[in-house]
Every structure is written in C-alpha cells, then in structure tokens.
Structure 1
Amino acid sequence: MGTAHIYKNFDTLTHINFISLMTTVKPARNYGLDILRVIACYMVIQIHTGEFYYIGNMGLTLNTADANWVGWYNSLCRICVPLFVMISGFYLFPVSDTPAFFKKRMSRVAIPFILWCILYAFYYYFIGQIDLQTALINILKIPVNYGVEIGHLWFVYMLLGLYLIAPIVSPWVQSASRGVMEFYLALWAIAFSLPYIHLVFPEIWGEAFWNHTPMLYYFSGFLGYVVLANYIKRFHMQHRPGHYVLGVALIIAGYAITTFGFLHRLPTEKYVNTLELTWGFETINVAMMTAGVFLLFKNVTIKNPSAPLMKLVLDVAAKSYGIYLAHIMVLNAWHATLDKYFETAAIKIPLIALSTFITVYIGIKILSYLPKSKWLVG
C-alpha cells in the first residue's frame, strides 16, 4: 500500500471522527435560561399570593388598596407561564425519535402531575373543603380536567398538548426560513391583539356564537411562544447590544399596558375574569414583556458555575417543576400564618411569596433524596 494512500485514508478517518465528535458534543449550557426558570418559578408563586387580595367570593373583584398593590406588583409576573413555555420550547427540537421523545417528556411531566393531583385530592379532604367521596371522584376525573379544578395545574394539560404537537411541527421549526417564521409571528401577534379588538368588534373574521375557529385561530395560543423561542435561537442568539435596548423597550411598553389596564378596570369591573383583560397570557402586551425578558437573559454568562450561589440556582431550576406542583399547599399555610401580622399587601405579597418559595424548595429538595423521587419532583 502506498504512502499517499495511507495518508488519504488517515485524513478521511480523521474527518469522519471529527464530524462524529461534533455531532455528539453537547452545546454549552445556557445559564441565563436556568436563571430565568428560577425567576419564572418565583413569579408563579407571587401571582398566586396576590390572588388573596383582589379575588373575592364567587370570583367577585375586591376593589381595595391591596388590590392596587397587586396590580403594580404582579403585572410583570404575568410572564411566568409564557417564560416556562419559551424555555421548554427552546430545548424542544429537533424531535428525531417520536416514541423516545414521548417516553421521556410525557413520563417526566405526566406521572408527577398525576401523583400530585392525587395528593391535592386528599389535601383538600384533610383541610375540610371536600368530603372523601368527592376526593375519590376527583382522582377518577384526572384524565378529564381535574388539574383545572385545582387551579394552577391547568398548565400541565397545556404543556402536554405542546408535547403532542412537537413531533408534527419540529421539521418546520428546524427548516423554516427567517422570513417565514417572521410571517407566522406577525400573525400570532395580531391574534394576541384580538382581546382588545374585541372591545370594538365583538366578532371578527368569521367569529360567531356557533363558530369558535375564526381566521387566525390556528395562529393563536401558546405554540407561538415555542416558535418565538426557536426563532430567537436560530437567528438572534448572537450577543448584540441592540437586543438589550429592544428588550428593555418591550418590557416597559408591555408592563405599562398590563398594569394600566388592570388598575384602570379595577374600580369598574365586577368580576375577576373581565378585570384581568390585560393580564391574559395570550395578549400582545404579555408577549412583549416575555420576549423582552428573554432577550435580556439569553446571553447571560457565568464565569464560575461551580460557585455556591450558582449551584443553588441550578438546583432550584432543576426542581422548578416540583416546586410548581407543590407550592399551593405551602402557600395556603404561609398566608394563614403571616397575613394577620401586616396591614398592607405591599409587604404581605413579597413576604408570603418568598417564604413559600424557600419552604417549597427545601421540601422538594428533601423529597428528591427518596428512591424513585423523579416521579414525584419531576
């Protein structure tokens, strides 16, 4: 065998090994999104803390000074769920092996969800809100809609829906041109403006009491946050100062609309469902704030990831799903304990929320040491 042939084979082998190495090396961890996951987790708890101070019996609005504090504090926190969706969507694609994808994603989300639904059923029984028969019926209703009946767990049904659609949209999200993705996002933004258009035109583009799928129906919903995350990932992940300027501008404008809308409607809206018009996760202003915060954090770098504080942040981020599932039980206890000691929600909301956040993290951390704990804490 000639020397030239040996070198040629060596070069070919080296090239193949290099390509193999490049395809197996994991991308660098995005610590900014880990930090965002922790922030979003806390925001969820603060939102639910604020509900004690503006939601009355039967969904009536409480027009009080405390409710005004809720408007100022929690308007920015409305980005919590969209942030979770964007972070999940950022890592969602490509879906190359659908059965493996469902096995990994569904099991890690659905099994803890089912277990916590069961725990909540008995929790509400033990605190006297329901009888044992109702608790058992609620457990049987988990495949139907029990998560909505325990409030915050509506999110899990939505997340599972995104996982179901992921293998279908994965090829498009990975290959669509920048212009095509921007076209989708533009229509999505218009669809997110419909809550305000409806104030002038109650029915638009084919809407009627017998038709709930108007023209932009297929561009509405949380899937847009997934597309937005991947649009940024594909075309805007490079570090640019203009992204920070744009991010701050989006946050300020979105927060102004969200807060003013809540406070302006507070004296006149009798029911919470109409009061929260500008608080909807599927509104353009909340999407603006979410995109702005994502732009600010997407390029965050950490010089020393092994530092104690960063290790704590990463651990909280890893346990954020468990914290989300469990926090209502602890929040109710902290509210009952601390509410009576302070006069104003300006103090009560952050104090109760932070106490809940820390306590639930410690509890989930302890549970994580149990055998098979991933089925409970996610």
Structure 2
Amino acid sequence: MRKRNPIFDNLRGICMLGVIAIHVGSMAVSAEAATPFLVLITNILSRYSVPTFFFISGYGLFYTHPLEEPFSYGRFLQKRLKSIALPYVVTSLLYICYYSFTSQNPNLLLPENILFCLFFGTGVYHIYFLVILLWFYILFPLWRGLMRVLEKIGLKLGMAILFVLQVALYQFSFVFWSYPDWIADNPVLLNLCQYRLNYFPFFYLFVFMLGGVIARHYGAFDRLLTRHKLPIALFFGLSASFNTWLFYRWTNLWGMPYEDTVNYLQQLSLPGLVFTLACILFFSLLLKQGWYPCKTALRKMSDRSFLIYLVHPFFIDQLELVTDKPFGSLEHVSIALFYVVILFISYLFAVLWHRLRSPKAKAA
C-alpha cells in the first residue's frame, strides 16, 4: 500500500475552493452591479482549479502504477470505472431529471438526449470534468507510452514541447469555429467538434503529464520546493499580477465585456496555463511548509472534495431561488456571503453523507 501525499491530498481542497468560486462568480459576470474585483477573483484568479485537478490525477495514476511494475489494464479500468464512471452516470441522471422537472421539459428525458448528455458531459454545467478524466483513464496505456518517450528524449525538452503543443492546440481551437460542409452536414461530427472542450483530454495533457513526471521524480520536486521558496513566490506573484493587469486593461481601457475577458483568460490560454503552473508550485510550497490557516478544515474538505464537487451546483441553484424571492435580484446579495453559504452547505451535506455510509451507521 503506497502512502498518500498530504500535499496533493490537501491541494484538492484548495482546488475545490476555486471551482465553487468560479461557479458562484459566474453570476457576477452577467450581473450589471458586479464589481471588477469580484469578477477578477472568481473568474480569473480561480481558474487554476480545473487543470490542477488533472495534475493531481496524473500524479496519482503514475504514483500508484509505476512504469517499472506490471500493469493490468483490465483491473485498472474496472476500478476506475467503478469509482468515477458510476458516480458520474448517477449524478448526471439525477441532474437531468431535476432540470426536466424544474423546466417542465419532458424532452430532456428522451433516450437520445440522455446519451448525448452522458457522452459530452452536459447533464450539468460542471460535470464535463469527469468525462475528460474518464478519457484520461481509458487512454492511460497511451500516457504510459508517452512518459517513456518523454524520459527517453529528456523531460525538460519533452515537457517544453508538450507545453507548446497544448497552447497551440487551444489557440487553434479558440479561433476555429467555421466548419467545412462535410462536417456541418453531419450531426455526429458537428457535435464532436462543437463540444470538443468537453471530452478531448489533449487540452489538459501537459498538466496531467506534469503530475506524472512529479510522481516519478518527486525527490527533485521536493528539493525545488525546499531550495527555491522565493523564486516560487515571485513566480506566483508575477503571474497573478500579469493576469490582473490584462483583466483591468481589457475591461477598463478597452471596454471588453466581462464574459469575453473571462473567455480570453481562461485556464487553457497561455496566461491561464502559466498561472496554473505558478499556483501548483506556490500552493504546494504553502502546504509543504504549513503556511496556511484552518489546517484541519482544509484536510476534511479535501477528503470530501469529490462529493462536494458533485452536489454544489444543486445548492447554488436552490440558494439562488431562495434569495430571488426576498431580494428580487441577486444583484442585492453579497456574492462573498453566497459563496461561503454554498461552501458550508455542500461540505455539511458531504459530512452527513459519509456518516450515513460509514460502517457504524450501517450497523446501527
């Protein structure tokens, strides 16, 4: 039994804070009364969270399945499908049923729509992450082969090439929205192109493989955190400052709408990807050194991060309905308070769920 890494275990909790911030903050993007600072915090500087989750997954897979040890693809896939695919399908179906009921639209329950939602991860706005993660699992033998190639040509050169290719792929994808007739006239091909960010794992391949590289060379990563604290902190500060400067420049000087700015600075863009790297290093440094408050709370939230991830959109929806009645509009509600309440409710639900499913609870 391999030991768990407390740094990356707790990093899941920090990522969860960012994910909820993005989803709560999405209401601020479209609100006329939204402040630039609120949009910056929730939709620009929280974008590290999704790719960092893939980074943690890459670390976990390559740590538990080293290249030097025998690998059973069948057992691996069976275990991963049980732990991720089953919760994904159940959660997606619950959300589809919920939205069908609340919108009074029975067409959402048609088999073709359900299959579409399950394949592209559109059952609810956030769950596409699990579709991409499942593709990382399904194609894990490919990533193992890629790791061997990277180590053969040299990790520094190999990862640099992978970084450039991932940025180039996103930039091409970002501007490529006009399709030839042979794609536009084929619904299957058109959907595969239109929803490419929902399932295509190559958009996150660099951060995933970076997690694998660190799993295989953790000693070097630990020395980096130990010997280069100041450069890591400066890297984080400069990257966050640069993204902040771009945001205010585009919104204040150019008058760009918040939604457009968020799209240009999202996690797959070059500034977003560099910021993600800075966050991975900086947060790992903080966690290694213990330079953060509420250690017990973060550990407990990290342990329950998967369930919090699955349920928090439902509580966002419910709280939004509750606050709409007395206030008439979310513009009169503190987004910061809204965020804290969602975080607390989602965490409390996860705690209660785990207690009900514990062996002691079952025995009682």
Q: TM-score, normalised by structure 2?
A: 0.75
Kindly indicate whether the alpha-carbon contact (under 8 Å) linking 1:89 and 1:230 is maintained by their aligned counterparts in 2: yes
* Cα 1:356–1:271 shift into 2, 3 Å: closer
Q: In structure 1, what residue type is equivalent to 2:99?
A: Y
**2:151 matches 1:177:** yes
- Name the structure 2 match of 1:288: 274
- Name the structure 1 match of 2:238: 253
- Name the structure 2 match of 1:11: none
Length, aligned pairs only: 325
- Name the structure 2 match of 1:19: none
CA distance in 1, matches of 2:228, 2:274: 13
CA distance in 2, matches of 1:283, 1:192: 9
**2:108 matches 1:134:** yes
- Name the structure 1 match of 2:362: none
CA distance in 2, matches of 1:105, 1:296: 30
Q: CA deviation at 1:342?
A: 12
**2:334 matches 1:348:** yes
Q: CA deviation at 1:253?
A: 2.9
Query: How do residues 67-106 of structure 1 correspond to structure 2 at under 5 angstroms?
Result: 67-93=36-62, 94=65, 96-106=71-81
Kindly indicate whether the alpha-carbon contact (under 8 Å) linking 1:85 and 1:222 is maintained by their aligned counterparts in 2: yes
- RMSD (Å) for aligned C-alpha atoms: 3.8
Kindly indicate whether the alpha-carbon contact (under 8 Å) linking 1:192 and 1:283 is maintained by their aligned counterparts in 2: no
Q: CA deviation at 1:35?
A: 1.8
Q: TM-score, normalised by structure 1?
A: 0.72
- Name the structure 1 match of 2:8: 33
* Cα 1:99–1:209 shift into 2, 3 Å: same
Q: Which whole-Å deviations, capped at 9, do the CAs of 1:111-160 have from their partners, x for residues lacking one?
A: 11111111112222333x24233234543434433x22521111111111
Q: CA deviation at 1:77?
A: 0.5
Query: How do residues 1-378 of structure 1 correspond to structure 2 at under 5 angstroms?
Result: 26-27=2-3, 29-55=4-30, 64-93=33-62, 94=65, 96-127=71-102, 129-137=103-111, 138-145=113-120, 147-173=121-147, 176-177=150-151, 180-194=154-168, 221-233=203-215, 234=217, 236-240=220-224, 241-266=226-251, 268-269=255-256, 272=259, 274-298=260-284, 300-301=287-288, 310=295, 312-338=297-323, 348-370=334-356
- Structure 1 unaligned residues grouped into runs of 5+: 1-24, 56-61, 213-217, 304-308, 374-378
- 3-state secondary structure, aligned to 1:159: helix
Kindly indicate whether the alpha-carbon contact (under 8 Å) linking 1:82 and 1:225 is maintained by their aligned counterparts in 2: yes
- 3-state secondary structure, aligned to 1:26: coil
Kindly indicate whether the alpha-carbon contact (under 8 Å) linking 1:178 and 1:231 is maintained by their aligned counterparts in 2: no
- Structure 2 unaligned residues grouped into runs of 5+: 184-192, 194-199, 360-364
* Identity %, equivalent residues: 21
Q: Which whole-Å deviations, capped at 9, do the CAs of 1:5-37 have from their partners, x for residues lacking one?
A: xxxxxxxxxxxxxxxxxxxx623x321212211
Rg larger in structure: 1
The structure with the greater share of residues assigned to helix is 2
* Cα 1:291–1:26 shift into 2, 3 Å: same
CA distance in 2, matches of 1:269, 1:297: 31
